[in-house]
Amino acid sequence: MCGIVGFTGGRQAAPVLIDGLKRLEYRGYDSAGIAVADGGKIGVAKVKGYVKNLAELTHDGADIPGTMGVGHTRWATHGVPNDINAHPHLSCDGRFAVVHNGIIENYAQLREELTRQGYEFVSETDTEVIAHLLESVYAGDAKKAVMKAFSRLKGSYAIGILCTDGSGRIFAVREAGPLIIGLGVGENYFASDVSALVQHTKNVIYMEDGQFAELTPEDVTIFDSFGRPVERKVSRVTWDVEAAEKGGYEHFMLKEIMEQPATFKATVEPRVVDGEVVFENFSLTDEELHGINHIVITACGSAGYAGQVGRYVIEELCRMPVSVELASELRYRNPIIGEHTLLIVISQSGETADTIAAMRECKLRGARTLAIVNVVGSTISKLADNVIYTWAGPEIAVATTKGYTTQVAVLDMLAIYLAKRLGTIDGARYSHLVEELLGMPAKIQRALDLNKNIEELAESLSYHNDIYFIGRNLDYAVCLEGALKLKEISYIFAEAYAAGELKHGTIALVEEDSLVVAIACYEPLFEKTMSNIEEVKARGAKVLAVALEDNKKIFTKADEYLMVPRCEPIFTPIAEIIPLQLFAYYVARANGCDIDKPKNLAKSVTVE
Ligand code: AGP
């Protein structure tokens, strides 16, 4: 959940580190810091708050001399956000500086042990034990000290280490936390995310769990946990630095909302060849596929809500039971999953701790695994038997938008693909659906263009303290995501309810001027949803309807409305979510919220 960077080269390190931290800030933003070695001394600057505070403090790094260092942007786990708990943390002798993402599970035991040995702790963090541990095992060789310290740590983490033993080396250690090496010319880097590296190099190495790396300006060596060099697998990043910049938009979230016609197209088009859906590296044989009797989708947050859409579509087309399980629950539930289960794991980052744990649990029970992931080389993509990348490009805003719609795109394609292989779809319907899916980027664009008044409308409704989202079938699946979008960036209480459930309790909350967002695009159940609209209106609620643009009936009933272009019904959720994303964005903006950095959240939840 934190961002870490490291640099060693021939130029001043601090500006490079601060620039990297700015690009990683979406991973955590309660404090930031850097440590840079200059000769035998380590200079440290760290401060509570955003990276811009650190940049101000150091004049964009100009004040800190030295050509190798490490940096960190924090999402607090142990200890409140303040200057002292901010990383980097130093060993008592000032030889080591440490930055860390993740959790050291045995830190209490190590802290006690090191305190008994006389080491003095200044912070409340688990990270500080690493710095003192390194000092305690150091006997003249930094690499050996890293290896020894590594063997004592339990938990999931990515660590950056700066050592002033005169050899010009920095170290990166990975155990279940994302860490990537960037290979430059006369300089090398590491970071917890490619977005901090692409402005320098496109040649990267995705580190594996249980590895550590030694970086000098000229060379990078990767070792296993026993200190044996391992083969370096160099990959090439396929996107440019502009993809991770705002491109003139006020917020990354708005940019990413607007990108969706293009990202959807990038996900779908290359996978349709001569009218057929084709997936790269899809290894399930026909026999294995016909042996599958249950599909389980697991994920967290929005990825899980994309899975809810996928469930309706896969069940509809493949006539196979599908359940959607919260990864944080599934991992501890002793699930009934075996070799006849296909586990679909969905994750934008590919690094979500609960999702990884649930996936490992199901793999142990024999499930076949298929991952739908955006970040190339991420942990989930490596663990899965099959991976389908969403190819959405870097998603920086904490609230996912294009990540979600491209996940739904892959699930829709997968449903069509599986239906054909299982023989549950006829040729005409198959071709029709492929054609319609290819036409969805234009529908997304129309959904973006249709609601010209949305900013004004959102502003006028932004005073509500709680907002209820209701819908049925696919509309209900979209309600879940629409409500999450609103609450995470505007802090307004928003909850999604299956419209049919209203009378079973929730309607008790509805009163004069309550705002109910009624999604009513699913036509087979339209009249039922209309009845629910009548019911909440009868109790004084104001209704904001989300409806197909040619549906005249709803406009006579709703107080306000957002329009959605008519699409192939099973693909309508892709267009439906667009006005809801915009609505959440403009409500949050009207309320002055920090949209790209919502309070208490971080982009990638790499701790439990
Ligand atoms: C989405 O807006 C959220 N920030 C969050 O729910 C997210 O979808 C969830 O944490 C899962 O992340 P992942 O897709 O990277 O696994």
SS3 assignment, position 231 = coil
Q: Is 436 exposed, middle or buried (0-12, 13-18, 19+ CB in 10 A)?
A: middle
d(CA 205, CA 364): 28
Please tell me the distance from the alpha carbon of residue 413 to that of residue 434, in angstroms, as a whole number. Answer: 8
User: Closest Cα to atom 9, ligand 1: which residue?
Assistant: 301
Q: How far apart are the first and last CA of the chain?
A: 10
**Ligand 1 mean position to 484 CA, how many Å?**
10
How far apart CA 60 and CA 48 sit, in angstroms, is: 16
How many of the other CB atoms lie within 10 Å of CB of 258? 18
Q: Which two tokens stand for residue 203?
A: 């040649």
Question: DSSP secondary-structure letter at 411?
Answer: H
603 is catalytic: yes
Choose among 404, 379, 469: nearest CA to 263. 404
Task: Provide the whole-model pTM.
Answer: 0.87
Atom 16 in ligand 1: which residue has the minimum CA distance?
347
Catalytic residue among 2, 163, 362, 567: 2
Domain boundaries, the chain: 3-244, 252-438, 454-590
Q: Name the DSSP class of 120.
A: P
Domains 252-438 and 454-590 share a fold: yes
**Which two structure tokens, joined as six digits, stand for 163?**
């050592």
User: Are 4 and 71 within 8 A, CB to CB?
Assistant: yes
Q: What is the CATH number of domain 252-438?
A: 3.40.50.10490
DSSP type of residue 389: E
454-590, CATH topology level:
Rossmann fold (3.40.50)
- CA dihedral sign, ordered 71, 74, 77, 80: positive
Q: How far is the CA of 25 from the centre of ligand 1 (A)?
A: 16
Instruction: Label each residue of 180-210 as H, E or C.
Output: EEEECCCCEEEECCHHHCCCCCCEEEECCCC
Preceding omega of 524 cis (within 30 degrees of 0): no
CA-nearest residue for atom 2, ligand 1, is 399
Residue 25 backbone class (left: φ over 0; alpha: ψ -120 to 50; beta: rest): alpha
Which 3 state secondary structure label does DSSP give 224? strand
CA 432, CA 207: separation in Å to the nearest integer? 43
Taking the C-alpha atoms of residue 1 and residue 26, their distance in angstroms, rounded to an integer, is: 9
Backbone torsions φ then ψ of 141, nearest 5 degrees: -135, 110
Contact 110, 129 (CB under 8 A): yes
Residue 465 identity: N
Q: pLDDT at position 607, please?
A: 75
Nearest atom, ligand 1, residue 400 CA? 2
Closest-CA residue, ligand 1 atom 6, reads: 301
Tokens representing residue 586 in the block: 């403009």
pLDDT at 145: 94
pLDDT of residue 167: 67
Residues with pLDDT less than 50, the chain: none
Number of the ligand 1 atom closest to the C-alpha atom of 407: 14
Task: Work out whether the CA dihedral 357, 361, 363, 367 comes out positive or negative.
Answer: negative
Contact at 8 Å (CB) between 444 and 578? Answer: yes
Provide the pLDDT for residue 555. 82
Q: Find the residues whose C-beta lies inside 6 A of ligand 1.
A: 300-303, 347-349, 352, 355, 398-400, 488, 604-605
* Residues 6 or more apart in contact with residue 434 via CB below 8 angstroms: 272, 275, 276, 277, 416
Query: Ligand 1 centroid to 479 CA: how many Å?
Result: 16
Calpha distance 207→67 (Å, rounded): 23
User: Into which CATH architecture does domain 3-244 fall?
Assistant: 4-Layer Sandwich (3.60)
Question: In the prediction, which pLDDT does 366 show?
Answer: 94
- Ligand 1 geometric centre to CA of 398 (Å): 8
User: Tens of pLDDT along 311-350?
Assistant: 999 999 999 999 999 999 999 998 899 999 999 999 999 9
